[in-house]
Structure 1
Amino acid sequence: MKIVVVGDTLLDEDIDGVAERFQPDAPVPVVDVQSRQSRAGGAGLVARMLLHDGHDVTLVTALSADAPAERLREHLDGIRVVAGALPAPTPVKTRLRAGGQPVARIDDGCGDPVLPHITRDMIASISEADAIIVSDYGRALTEHPEIRVALHRRGARVPLVWDPHPRGADPVPSTRLVTPNLSEAAKAAGTAPEPDAAAEAAARLRERWGCIAISVTLGSQGALLLDADHAPALIPARPVEAADACGAGDRYASSALIALAEGEPLPEAVRRGVDAAGDFLASGGVAALGAARLPRANAADADAFAVAEQVRASGGTVVATGGCFDLLHAGHVRTLAAARGLGDCLIVCLNSDDSVRRLKGAERPLITERDRVELLTALSCVDAVVVFEEDGPQAVLDRLRPDIWVKGGDYSAQSLPEAALVESWGGRVLTLPYHLGRSTTALAEAIARVG
């Protein structure tokens, strides 16, 4: 499936430090810089997220010919980039933080947008897409008449999701789903920026834009969906604590697009987007997206330890998770996909058949380890699987030594028995949200009831 991301690409920078004193001649903090990081932002961030999920991605954008654009191209390594010329500086957004708290944001090259030059390859890429997401950051690409015609034509045939911007162009009428946040929707519709007014804003915007559906994202409350066939519906979100919500909207919109491209109805696509945004924030958000893009191994044939060594030698982040994975279900898949987004490879440490029997009882596993390995390695988010015989993963972890150890559940990371071991070599332990209603035991009981 060819996923095409269309939109404005920015360079995002994070400067982190500590502030322990004030400037002598003004009441402002002095920040001692400890680290600087940069990454592709805007449409580039969306493309990078989709690439991390294992999708075939093409980024249709416009790039300048300056030094920040060269850095952008490095961050887009591994993504097919089809770019027109941008006759203006590269937009750079720099966030300054002290002690983890925002101090200021500095925008450079973010003045009045200039219409970019469009190429035949850009139009051709749109016309060949199997699914399209527009990531509009108000830099004029989506205002170009040729781009709009191409999007409208292809949107009539394939799923098109449009993530709008207050200074951007209106979505084309063939858009399947438009995803403004509450502030954006209220400003565009002229309604109050309150959750109670979200349905009114969605109705006004859907009528104005002529699109199929609007979903207004409401942060921790979830998203409100409005289409022609149903009354406004609220899709709730699970509570997630996150210091930095940057990128959550991009994760939401891109996940909803994939669901639509897989044939899911709109309510299910929105629900998957809401869940994915929550997983994204719980797993560390945009800061957890690895900067390096490394070749993916063929997981079915891969040696887990060799994969880890290759990724580590290339400066990448090794992520591992573990479990029985008996009767693989949607909760497993979501957790695995979120874990893969934390780094540059995902290795699954799998309990052997004997290990599962000791943990779960004589009637388990329901699926043999050979088949469980095959199912896991068929997932694009899994790079390798290693089977262990012990009751716990400590021995295999001590050999693998991942940078991040991920578990799904509703317990704290520190309560895991392997937490101290992972932290002993400087690794981190993270837990991802438990997906209610997804349970191997519940599935097994349901199967038993139907014979």
Structure 2
Amino acid sequence: MNFKILVIGEAMVDKYIHGIVDRISPEAPVPVVLFNKNTENLGGSANICQNLANLDADVHLISIVGKDEHEPILTKLCQNNNINLIPIYLNRPTIVKQRIVANNQQIMRVDFENNNNLDSEEEKIVIEQIKKVSKEYDAIILSDYKKGLFTKNIIETIFNHFNNNFILADSKPDKIDLFKRANIIKSNFKEFKDYCKQKNIEVSNDDSSIENTYNKFIYNFNSFLLTRSEKGMSFLSKDKFEHIPTNAKRVYDVTGAGDSVTAAYIIKYLETKKEEISMSFANKVAGIVVSKPGCVAIEKEDLKLKNENKKIINSYEKIESIVNKLKKDKKKIVFTNGCFDLLHSGHADYLKKAKEMGDILIVGLNSDESIKKIKGENRPIVDQNSRLELISSLESVNYCILFEEDNPINILSYIKPDIHVKGSDYKNKYMIERDMVEINGGQIGFIEIKTNENNKISTSDIIEKIKNEH
């Protein structure tokens, strides 16, 4: 489905001069760049749009544009990338970032911009333009690059005009409070930390600190999507907290990665209406774009290539073949199984500890039908395909596979793990699969379950809490 999305923000042109440096200027102690080529890309809010367009969205962009030599470049770049530009012409320059890159290293940047807040006349022009825009959009993205567009009056106008639309706001710390009516606010950890500092709140980049901090102003916002560099990503709301580790294997350049996260999250959310799935997809996209130099948008071919390396295995025979090869390489195989419905921090901690018991962690997920037999007709909350996607996004998990049976005996007969992991609460319980594990030379391992305020974290408790609070 081609979702229709409106981005309101500050479009830029990223211009690059590429060359090489092999000497210092005799005129001053600066490098001399021998010119090779020029390139021009979309930047700022227009980079979000390019990501959206590459993910098959019908994209419209409202941005202030100057009537200058850079305006035709921006317009042409938008046309070439299937972005419908809705320019608001003011007596300001089209924003340009001119970078000089030598030997694949940026050595200088020159900015062409006026980042002062709009004056009353400029603000009036923008407000009039926004009020003329159709409301027929699947989602609105507000992309604040702190270049003067988002005044208090303009922000209020946007929320009043699009009061029935889903809105994601990507704001700088000093204006986050003005965007509190958004359905979700996206921020990186540095911005979140700066925002908290304004409130005289200290926060560190770990799950518990972020959760405790968010609890202090939980009712000010609907939800937060927080990108955390090497720590991954978090979804924060008054109902739940979700954390997933980074998907990046190699970080070359983080420029524009936040825009790719914003675009990927909104596309997947419109498709699934599930925050966890959307965050997992955005995490995957971020892992791809940071592995490339410069401000680049995600390409569908990148995702296809990524999908070829999925950890999701669709047959017992295939996982058996994979395990046999791994065992020939002297790899220690760890297996665990469960429903993993409403993936939470307890699950992530459990799987991380399971992986530490060996070299390869394989997770068996109960199918939707088997969960209904075990938990009842109202479960699972999250369907099996979504659960597979979420589990496969965890760094600790090497492979995951569905099983239809009520117990894992059959799948264990194919995998024959060195260690079959269970929660510590199973230590003194009868386990129907024990014989199958031990007859194939394996052993049972136990893991202490993560607790929260002295209670075990469980999906059932989370569901019950939501029911009680609503």
Fold shared per TM-score above 0.5: yes
* TM-fit CA distance, 1:446: 3.9
Query: 1:416 maps to which residue?
Result: none
Query: 2:43 maps to which residue?
Result: 41
1:163 paired to 2:167: no
Question: How far apart, CA to CA, are the structure 2 residues paired with 1:67 and 1:200?
Answer: 50
Query: 1:112 maps to which residue?
Result: 116
Contact in 2 for aligned 1:4/1:125 (Cα 8 Å): no
SS in 1 for 2:13: strand
Query: 1:272 corresponds to which letter in structure 2?
Result: F
1:229 paired to 2:239: yes
Question: How far apart, CA to CA, are the structure 2 residues paired with 1:193 and 1:70?
Answer: 44
Query: 2:100 maps to which residue?
Result: 96
Number of residue pairs the alignment of both structures matches: 318
Contact in 1 for aligned 2:256/2:296 (Cα 8 Å): no
Query: 1:12 maps to which residue?
Result: 14
Question: How far apart, CA to CA, are the structure 2 residues paired with 1:55 and 1:322?
Answer: 17
* TM-fit CA distance, 1:213: 1.0
Closer, same or farther in 2 for the Cα pair 1:203/1:25, shift >3 Å? Answer: farther
- Structure 2 counterpart of 1:264, from 273, 289, 292: 273
Question: How far apart, CA to CA, are the structure 1 residues paired with 2:134 and 2:177?
Answer: 18
Question: How far apart, CA to CA, are the structure 2 residues paired with 1:126 and 1:137?
Answer: 24
Query: 1:54 corresponds to which letter in structure 2?
Result: D
Query: 1:140 maps to which residue?
Result: 148
Closer, same or farther in 2 for the Cα pair 1:321/1:137, shift >3 Å? Answer: closer
Closer, same or farther in 2 for the Cα pair 1:436/1:289, shift >3 Å? Answer: closer
SS in 1 for 2:187: coil
Query: 1:125 maps to which residue?
Result: 133
Closer, same or farther in 2 for the Cα pair 1:178/1:109, shift >3 Å? Answer: same
* TM-fit CA distance, 1:273: 1.6
Query: 2:189 maps to which residue?
Result: 182
Identity value in percent: 22
Contact in 2 for aligned 1:23/1:30 (Cα 8 Å): yes
Question: How far apart, CA to CA, are the structure 1 residues paired with 2:35 and 2:203?
Answer: 36
Unaligned runs of 5+ in 1: 291-317, 324-330, 336-359, 361-433
* TM-fit CA distance, 1:57: 0.9
SS in 1 for 2:91: coil
Question: How far apart, CA to CA, are the structure 1 residues paired with 2:88 and 2:217?
Answer: 30
Question: How far apart, CA to CA, are the structure 1 residues paired with 2:132 and 2:36?
Answer: 44
* TM-fit CA distance, 1:435: 5.8
Question: How far apart, CA to CA, are the structure 2 residues paired with 1:277 and 1:87?
Answer: 36
- Structure 2 counterpart of 1:173, from 171, 180, 194: 180
Contact in 2 for aligned 1:82/1:121 (Cα 8 Å): no
SS in 2 for 1:139: coil
1:284-303 to 2 correspondences below 5 Å: 286-287=295-296
SS in 1 for 2:193: helix
Question: How far apart, CA to CA, are the structure 2 residues paired with 1:319 and 1:259?
Answer: 17
Question: How far apart, CA to CA, are the structure 1 residues paired with 2:303 and 2:13?
Answer: 32
Question: How far apart, CA to CA, are the structure 2 residues paired with 1:206 and 1:105?
Answer: 39
Closer, same or farther in 2 for the Cα pair 1:91/1:260, shift >3 Å? Answer: same
SS in 2 for 1:286: coil
Contact in 1 for aligned 2:20/2:34 (Cα 8 Å): yes
- Structure 1 counterpart of 2:66, from 64, 67, 73: 64
Query: 2:233 corresponds to which letter in structure 1?
Result: A
Contact in 2 for aligned 1:134/1:162 (Cα 8 Å): yes
Query: 2:340 maps to which residue?
Result: none
Question: TM-score w.r.t. structure 1 length?
Answer: 0.61
Query: 2:307 corresponds to which letter in structure 1?
Result: H
Query: 1:80 corresponds to which letter in structure 2?
Result: N
Unaligned runs of 5+ in 2: 311-320, 322-391, 411-470
1:345-370 alpha-carbon deviations (Å, 9 max, x no partner): xxxxxxxxxxxxxxx9xxxxxxxxxx
- Structure 2 counterpart of 1:86, from 77, 87, 90: 90
* TM-fit CA distance, 1:171: 4.3
Query: 1:282 maps to which residue?
Result: 291
Contact in 1 for aligned 2:223/2:238 (Cα 8 Å): yes
Closer, same or farther in 2 for the Cα pair 1:53/1:220, shift >3 Å? Answer: same
Question: How far apart, CA to CA, are the structure 2 residues paired with 1:126 and 1:172?
Answer: 21
Query: 1:277 corresponds to which letter in structure 2?
Result: A
1:389-404 to 2 correspondences below 5 Å: none
Query: 2:223 corresponds to which letter in structure 1?
Result: A
- Structure 2 counterpart of 1:242, from 246, 251, 261: 251
1:268-417 to 2 correspondences below 5 Å: 268-282=277-291, 286-287=295-296, 332=307
SS in 2 for 1:88: coil
Contact in 1 for aligned 2:224/2:236 (Cα 8 Å): yes
Question: How far apart, CA to CA, are the structure 2 residues paired with 1:145 and 1:95?
Answer: 34
**Structure possessing the higher radius of gyration over alpha carbons:** 2
